[in-house]
Amino acid sequence: MKSTKSDPRSRSVADEVVGRLRSCGHPALQYVQVSEESRTIVLEGTVPSFYLKQLAQTLAQTVDGVARVVNGTTVTPQRREAFVDAY
């Protein structure tokens, strides 16, 4: 897949997806990488739950100009201790 930097038109679609992921209120989604080629958005990275994997895909699908989403994110649940230690 091409990087989002190769085509200004692609950049705007991918940037819109990135904006939706960043503004949805789930901090883990800000680390999802987004690339685009021929109206196909590719999501990559790690998220802590299947719900967030699906949410990232759904948010990407709602962007105008996106024909297809390939969700390559990996679900890696955080250990419960990580949540306790954070507080």
Average pLDDT over residues 60-81: 92
Residues 26/29/31/37 CA torsion (nearest 10 deg): -160
- Is pLDDT above 80 for 80? no
Please, are residues 34 and 69 in contact by the beta-carbon 8 Å criterion? Answer: no
Can you give the pLDDT at residue 24? Answer: 96
Residues 6+ apart with CB under 8 A from 46: 31, 73, 74, 75, 76
Rounded CA separation 31/56 (Å):
11
Can you give the pLDDT at residue 10? Answer: 45
Domain extent listing, the chain: 8-85
Q: How confident is the model at residue 79 (pLDDT cuts 50, 70, 90)?
A: confident
**pLDDT, tens digit (0-9, with 9 covering 90-100), for 3-49:** 444 455 445 899 999 999 999 999 999 999 999 999 999 999 999 99
User: In terms of Cα–Cα distance, which of 16, 62, 69 is closest to 39?
Assistant: 69
Q: What is the pTM of this model?
A: 0.77
Architecture (CATH level 2) of domain 8-85 = 2-Layer Sandwich (3.30)
Residues 6+ apart with CB under 8 A from 78: 48
